[in-house]
C-alpha cells in the first residue's frame, strides 16, 4: 500500500501518515477510498468545506493563501464540524456538502485564509491554488490542483 500512496501523493505524504491512516486510504476492491479520518491540530477547528494541509505526524492544519507552506502538498477538505485536537472525516477528492455556501454554481474555488474557500481568484500579493468547483447551492466538489502560484496583478 505504501507504494500506491507514494506513487499518487509522494513520499512526503507517506512519511506524515501513521500505518492506521494509510490503511484508511487503502485499496478497497482495488480502488482508493476518498475519505480519511485525521486529527486536527489543537488550535485548528474545522467546519464542513474548510481546507487543511497534512502537517507533521498526520495532523491537519488550516490552509491559507498567505503562507506557501500551508497550500503546497496534500490538501484535504473537512466534511463535518471538527473541534481542534480531535479526529474527524476529511476528503482528499470528492463532493462535500456545505449547505447554503453562497458561491456561484460552476465556478472554480480557491483557498483563502483560515481554511476558507472562495469563488474569486486570489489577487496580488496572495498565493493561489484552485481546489475544486462549486457543484450546486449546497455542494462543493473538492479536487485540488497539484500546483500553486503567486497571484500578480498585470
Model pLDDT for residues 113-131, shown as the tens digit of each residue: 999 999 999 888 789 999 9
Predicted pLDDT of residue 2: 40
Note the pTM of the prediction, 2 decimals: 0.78
**Cell 513520499 maps to which residue?**
11
Predicted pLDDT of residue 7: 40
Q: How confident is the model at residue 20 (pLDDT cuts 50, 70, 90)?
A: low
Q: How many domains does the chain have?
A: 1
Predicted pLDDT of residue 17: 59
Domain coverage including residue 52: 34-150
More confident residue, 111 or 12: 111
In a domain, 6, yes or no: no
pLDDT tens per residue, range 55-97: 877 789 999 999 989 998 889 999 999 999 999 999 988 899 9
Considering the chain, what is the average pLDDT of its residues? 82
Amino acid at each position: 500500500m505504501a507504494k500506491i500512496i507514494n506513487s499518487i501523493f509522494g513520499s512526503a505524504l507517506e512519511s506524515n501518515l501513521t500505518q492506521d491512516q494509510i490503511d484508511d486510504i487503502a485499496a478497497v476492491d482495488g480502488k482508493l477510498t476518498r475519505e480519511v479520518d485525521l486529527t486536527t491540530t489543537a488550535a485548528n477547528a474545522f467546519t464542513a468545506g474548510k481546507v487543511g494541509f497534512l502537517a507533521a505526524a498526520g495532523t491537519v492544519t488550516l490552509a491559507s493563501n498567505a503562507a506557501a507552506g500551508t497550500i503546497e502538498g496534500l490538501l484535504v477538505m473537512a466534511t463535518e464540524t471538527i473541534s481542534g485536537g480531535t479526529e474527524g472525516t476529511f476528503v482528499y477528492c470528492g463532493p462535500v456538502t456545505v449547505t447554503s455556501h453562497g458561491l456561484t454554481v460552476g465556478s472554480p474555488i480557491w483557498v483563502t485564509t483560515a481554511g476558507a474557500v472562495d469563488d474569486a481568484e486570489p489577487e496580488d500579493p496572495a498565493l493561489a491554488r484552485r481546489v475544486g468547483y462549486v457543484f450546486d447551492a449546497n455542494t462543493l466538489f473538492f479536487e485540488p490542483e497539484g500546483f500553486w502560484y503567486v497571484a500578480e496583478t498585470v
